[in-house]
Amino acid sequence: MLRLLDISKTYSLKAVLRGVYLELKDGEAFVLFGPNGAGKSTLLKIAAGLMSPNTGRVELTTDSHSHSSIFYIGHKNGLYNELTVLENIRFFQDITGSRNSNTILREILMEFGLWQRRNDPVKQLSQGMKRRLSLMKGFISGADLLLLDEPFSGLDIRWKEIILERLRGLKKQGVSLLMVTHLIKEGLSIADRIGLLENGILRLQCKTEEITEEEIKEILRGGVCR
Amino acid sequence: MGFVGNTFAIVKKDLLLELRAKEAISIMVFLSLLLLVVFNLSVEIDTENVSRLAPGILWVVFAFSGILGMGRTSLSERDDEAYLNIYFSSVNMESFYLAKVISNLLFLLLMEMFTIVSFVILFDYERLIFALAPLSLPLLLGSFGFSVVGTLFSFLSTGSRFGEIILPFLFLPVVVPILLGGVSSTDIILNGSGGDSPAKWLKILLVFDLLYFCISLILFRYIIEE
Amino acid sequence: MKKDRITKILLVLVLLMLPVNFYLIFQVAPTERIMGDVQRIFYLHVSLAISAYIGFGVLFVSSIMFLIKKNLYWDTLAYSAGEVGLMFSTLVLITGSFWARPVWNVWWTWDPRLVTMLILWFIYIGYFMLRKSISERLKKARYSAIIGILGFLDVPVVRLATKWWRSIHPRLSKEGGGLDPLMIKVMLFSLLTFVVFTIVIIIFRFRVAWAEERLYSILNEMEEYHE
């Protein structure tokens, strides 16, 4: 699905990523952990093709070669603040060509707690609502690969569960996931494999079964490698 | 959806966004009004010289108000990184560029109509209204050229650290042929200027438009993607 | 290193040509009947203009090459040539002004060629302003390549537009028509000298700039393997 080969990236003189190899198989969920400034977001942007690495390359193998097969949600929500919730969604459907029926749309809007506010401009929504709307775009985009950067930011425990449930559903449909988060429990609950990025180096890569939440916390706290 | 459908969807979104926010239009309209007032206070304009000064004043106002307004419309895509939706959709970048050129052209024409009406009222120069039919061609060609260059450069400048500040420095020298063509053809239409025909100036505008449109269509993708 | 030898030959050549060129301009070329000695600026003025265009031309081509190859080598060549072009165009504008003062009794004349050069000067000032305002290296290269391409394409259009525009406005003066055969020879030698001169400067500027770029990437690698 996605292969990152020997990715290095520097900003002026600061090395952000140093020779990262990462492979994501079809329908796999990979979650990246790491302290702030480890280069997680940069790696995600490079995977999305939004940034080019100084060395190394990104290989993407999907059925179609268009961008529409991947979807990226960064720190920003990618919403038009002056437009209403429905207008944002409609525009998104127009350009992605994903014609979900009105009932499905209504269902997902209800599930995400946005149905009541569907005709309000996005700028009037709370941070959590904006984040949910942003994630919703990813869920209806029909992409084969979702790249999510801190998807749970601004969401409380209830919404986290609902989003996780959705993500599990997508995984069952064969969608691949590459996710960056600092929430270890939530990350582990969805991941097939996890990676630990520290100082631009992928220190650890393993299956979810092989590691526990405590161990990850311990590594992140002490910076000790196994 | 094909090329035309995608382009239309983005134009529709831009118009809706402008209808809600009224940011670009209000910036352009108020700046052009302000500039006209400043011109009137700093240059002595009377019924004798108004027809000689009108072409220059009008096109300077079009250029300055236009470029500020166009900077605003690209900010609305950059603000929340909303343009990423388009990047990760099936829309190709040529279609995206064309759509932005069209919506910017519409805003420019609206601003120009407003400026012309204000000019007629402020300077008591009714001749301008009656000359609107022959003036429509230079206005259309000139505004299209402004939009072609302005759309590309506004995406450039909003992606840099200086932001919109740098926009006039890039925009104004490049559109000098449009300013010369616009001012000269307007002058010939309003004042006759020795039986000269505006045809050759329209040709320059046309050549500029075609050249810059084709090249910008190719170059636009390099602003958005790697 | 074959390249090195060519550069050295060019350098020696230009060091020999420059004094000869000045000797020809100030001693050999006949004094113009009406304008007098001031006319000698003309040889420099025109040569500088050609040099400026060479600089901007190289910038244009390397900008296209960068967008195709995505190699910073081309971007480095682009801005090196751009700096040289900007320096020469500044000198063109200054010598143009020196020339206009005694000949037409004005400090500045809106001659189409001079106006085109002035517009270009502004465009490339914008080019370097844009470079300064972007810190990410590859983005800087991509964005400025776009200005490098669109800016140079403006030359013929601006030139044509300013020419027509001048034809409506009263003309200050016409360029001198018949040049003395010796004057033409001096002119040609001066042009040749400056073409070589420009190429040499661009090569040297590029080598310094490229060394800087490589130094940065080596420093990056050192940082990488520091731990």
Number of domains in chain A: 1
What does the pLDDT read at residue C117? 94
Domain containing residue A216: 24-34+60-222
**pLDDT class for B189, splitting at 50, 70, 90?**
very high
Asked if residue A163 is part of any domain, the answer here is yes
Which of C130, C140, C155 is the best substitution to test chain B (most B C-beta atoms within 10 A)?
Answer: C130
What does the pLDDT read at residue A35? 87
pLDDT digits (tens, 9 = 90+) for A104-148: 888 889 989 999 999 999 999 999 999 999 999 988 888 889 999
Token pair of A88 as six digits = 């944002």
C chain contacts of residue A199, beta-carbon cutoff 8 Å: 227
Number of domains in chain C: 1
Q: How far apart are CA C34 and CA C92, in angstroms?
A: 23
Please identify which residue in the block is written with the tokens 């990104």.
A58
Sign of the C-alpha dihedral computed for residues C212, C216, C221 and C225 taken in this order:
positive
**Secondary structure letter of residue B38 according to DSSP:** H
Q: How far apart are CA C119 and CA C21, in angstroms?
A: 29
* B226 shares contact with chain C (CB less than 8 Å): yes
What does the pLDDT read at residue A226? 45
Q: How far apart are CA A162 and CA A179, in angstroms?
A: 16
Q: How far apart are CA C7 and CA B221, in angstroms?
A: 37
CB contact under 8 A, B6 and A49: no
At A144, which CATH number?
Answer: 3.40.50.300
Length of chain B: 226
What does the pLDDT read at residue A68? 61
Q: Beginning with the edge strand found earlier in the chain, give each strand of the sheet holding A55-60 in spatial order.
A: A14-24, A2-11, A55-60
Q: What distances in angstroms separate CA C42 from CA C45, C94, C105, C162, one per listed residue?
A: 5, 12, 16, 21
pLDDT digits (tens, 9 = 90+) for A68-109: 688 999 999 999 999 999 999 999 988 887 777 788 888 889
Query: Residue C178: phi, psi to the nearest 5?
Result: -80, 120
What does the pLDDT read at residue A215? 84
CA angle, A187 as apex, A182 and A191 as ends, to 5°?
140
What does the pLDDT read at residue C103? 78
* C222 shares contact with chain A (CB less than 8 Å): no
CB contact under 8 A, C149 and B219: yes
A chain contacts of residue C224, beta-carbon cutoff 8 Å: 8, 15, 18-19, 200
Provide the mean pLDDT of chain A. 87
Query: Residue A75: phi, psi to the nearest 5?
Result: -65, -35
pLDDT digits (tens, 9 = 90+) for C88-124: 999 999 998 888 888 778 888 888 888 999 999 999 9
What does the pLDDT read at residue A224? 52
Q: Torsion angle of alpha carbons A7, A11, A12, A14, nearest 10°?
A: -80
What does the pLDDT read at residue A64? 52
Q: What distances in angstroms separate CA C7 from CA A116, B108, B135, C82, one per listed residue?
A: 73, 52, 57, 20
Token pair of A122 as six digits = 């996005």
Find out whether A81 and B80 touch, Cβ atoms under 8 Å: yes
Nearest residue of B to residue C151, measured between CA atoms: B174
- pLDDT above 70 covers a percentage of chain B that reads 97
CB contact under 8 A, A68 and B16: no
Q: Are strands A14-24 and A193-198 parallel, antiparallel or unpaired?
A: unpaired
**pLDDT class for A61, splitting at 50, 70, 90?**
confident
Q: How far apart are CA B14 and CA B77, in angstroms?
A: 10
Residue C19 has pLDDT above 80, yes or no: yes
Q: Beginning with the edge strand found earlier in the chain, give each strand of the sheet holding A29-33 in spatial order.
A: A70-73, A145-149, A176-180, A29-33, A193-198, A201-207
What chains are in contact with A, requiring at least 3 Cβ pairs below 8 Å?
B, C
Residue A62 has pLDDT above 70, yes or no: no
Asked if residue A102 is part of any domain, the answer here is yes
How many other β-carbons are positioned within 10 Å of the β-carbon of residue C9?
10
Crossing angle of helices B176-191 and B199-224, in 10° steps, is 150
Domain containing residue C56: 36-210
What does the pLDDT read at residue B1? 64
| Residue A69 identity | S
Name the minimum distance, in Å, from the CA of A50 to any CA of chain B. 6
Q: Which of C129, C100, A147 is nearest to B165 (CA)?
A: C129
Token pair of A74 as six digits = 């960064």
Nearest residue of A to residue C220, measured between CA atoms: A13
pLDDT digits (tens, 9 = 90+) for B126-139: 889 989 999 999 99
Chain-centre distance for alpha carbon B174:
13
Find out whether A64 and A225 touch, Cβ atoms under 8 Å: no
* Mean pLDDT value across residues A30-54: 89
B chain contacts of residue C129, beta-carbon cutoff 8 Å: 162, 166, 169-170
Q: Are strands A2-11 and A14-24 parallel, antiparallel or unpaired?
A: antiparallel
DSSP collapsed to 3 states, chain A = CEEEEEEEEEECCEEEEEEEEEEECCCCEEEEECCCCCCHHHHHHHHHCCCCCCEEEEEECCCCCCHHHEEEECCCCCCCCCCEHHHHHHHHHHHHCCCCCHHHHHHHHHHCCCCCCCCCEHHHCCHHHHHHHHHHHHHHCCCCEEEEECCCCCCCHHHHHHHHHHHHHHHHCCCEEEEECCCHHHHHHHCCEEEEEECCEEEEEEEHHHCCHHHHHHHHHHCCCC
* B169 shares contact with chain C (CB less than 8 Å): yes
Confirm whether the ipTM is greater than 0.90: yes
pLDDT digits (tens, 9 = 90+) for C126-185: 999 999 999 888 889 999 999 999 999 999 999 888 888 876 554 444 455 566 788 888
* C132 shares contact with chain A (CB less than 8 Å): no
Residue A48 has pLDDT above 70, yes or no: yes
Q: How far apart are CA C227 and CA B201, in angstroms?
A: 65
B chain contacts of residue C149, beta-carbon cutoff 8 Å: 215, 219
What does the pLDDT read at residue B90? 83
Asked if residue A217 is part of any domain, the answer here is yes
Crossing angle of helices B3-21 and A85-96, in 10° steps, is 160
What does the pLDDT read at residue A121? 94
Q: How far apart are CA A147 and CA A138, in angstroms?
A: 9
**pLDDT class for B203, splitting at 50, 70, 90?**
very high
pLDDT digits (tens, 9 = 90+) for A136-182: 998 888 888 999 999 998 888 889 999 999 999 999 988 999 999 98
Provide the mean pLDDT of chain C. 87
Query: Residue B103: phi, psi to the nearest 5?
Result: -65, -40
Please identify which residue in the block is written with the tokens 């909303």.
B82
- Name the burial class of residue C97, with classes exposed (0-12), middle (13-18) and buried (19+) by CB atoms within 10 angstroms of its CB: middle
What chains are in contact with B, requiring at least 3 Cβ pairs below 8 Å?
A, C
3-state secondary structure of C67: helix
Q: What distances in angstroms separate CA C193 from CA A188, C3, C24, C43, C96, one per listed residue?
A: 71, 20, 12, 11, 19
Q: How far apart are CA A40 and CA A9, in angstroms?
A: 12
* A10 shares contact with chain C (CB less than 8 Å): yes
Name the minimum distance, in Å, from the CA of B174 to any CA of chain C. 6
pLDDT digits (tens, 9 = 90+) for B97-122: 999 999 999 999 999 999 999 999 99
**pLDDT class for A65, splitting at 50, 70, 90?**
very low
What does the pLDDT read at residue C227? 44
Whether this model's pTM surpasses 0.95: no
